[in-house]
Amino acid sequence: MKRMLICLAVLLLVAFPIFAGGSGDGEIEAAVEMEPYPSQPIQIIVPWGAGGRTDINARMFASVAPKYLGQPVMVINMAGGGSVIGGDFVAKAEPDGYTLLAITPGTNVFPVVFGSAPYDTFDFEPIGQIGSSTMAIASNPDSPWDDVESLIEYAKANPGKVTYGCVALKAPQLGFLRWADAAGLEFKHVPVGNDAEAVASTLGGHVDIAMTSSVATIVSHVNAGNLVPLMVFAEERDGNLPDTPTAVESGYDVVASPFTGIAAPKGLPDDVLATLRDVFDKVIVDEDFLKVMKRIGESISPKSAEDFKDVWKNDIEGYTAIVEKMGLK
Binding stretches for another protein (CB under 8 A): 6-7, 10-11, 13-14, 17-18, 24-25, 49-52, 55-56, 59-60, 62-63, 75-82, 84-85, 88, 114, 116, 118, 163, 168-169, 188-193, 196-197, 199-201, 203-207, 216-217, 219-221, 223-224, 226, 292, 295-297
What are the CB-based long-range contacts (under 8 Å, 24+) for 144-153?
A: 145/230, 146/228, 147/228, 147/230, 148/230, 148/231, 148/245, 148/250, 149/250, 151/209, 151/230, 152/183, 152/185
SS (H, E, C) 217-283: HCHHHHHCCCCEEEEECCCCCCCCCCCCCECCCCCCCCCCCCEEEEEEECCCCHHHHHHHHHHHHHH
**Min dist. Cβ of residue 65 to another protein (A):** 13
Which residue lies nearer to another protein by CB, 203 or 290? 203
Which residue lies nearer to another protein by CB, 185 or 292? 292
Query: Reduced to 3 states, what is the DSSP secondary structure of residue 14?
Result: helix
Which residue lies nearer to another protein by CB, 38 or 82? 82
SS (H, E, C) 137-197: EEECCCCCCCCHHHHHHHHHHCCCCCEEEEECCCHHHHHHHHHHHHHCCCCEEEEECCHHH
**Min dist. Cβ of residue 207 to another protein (A):** 8
**Min dist. Cβ of residue 10 to another protein (A):** 5
Which residue lies nearer to another protein by CB, 85 or 185? 85
The alpha carbon torsion through 89, 91, 93, 94 (nearest 10 deg) reads: 180
**Min dist. Cβ of residue 150 to another protein (A):** 23
Distance of CA 54 to the CA centre of its chain: 7
**Min dist. Cβ of residue 49 to another protein (A):** 7
**Min dist. Cβ of residue 271 to another protein (A):** 28
Which residue lies nearer to another protein by CB, 121 or 214? 214
Query: Reduced to 3 states, what is the DSSP secondary structure of residue 102?
Result: strand
**Min dist. Cβ of residue 255 to another protein (A):** 24
**Min dist. Cβ of residue 19 to another protein (A):** 11
Which residue lies nearer to another protein by CB, 148 or 218? 218
For residue 3, what is the enclosing H or E element? Answer: helix 2-20
Which residue lies nearer to another protein by CB, 80 or 144? 80
* CA dist., res. 315 & res. 177, Å (int): 14
**Min dist. Cβ of residue 178 to another protein (A):** 18
Instruction: Compute and round to an integer the Cα radius of gyration of the chain.
Output: 23
Which residue lies nearer to another protein by CB, 148 or 192? 192
Q: Which residues contact 155 (CB under 8 A, 6 or more apart)?
A: 161, 162, 185, 186, 187
Contact 215/238 with Cβ under 8 angstroms? yes
Instruction: Using alpha carbons only, give the angle 136, 83, 263 rounded to the nearest 5 degrees.
Output: 85
Which residue lies nearer to another protein by CB, 182 or 292? 292
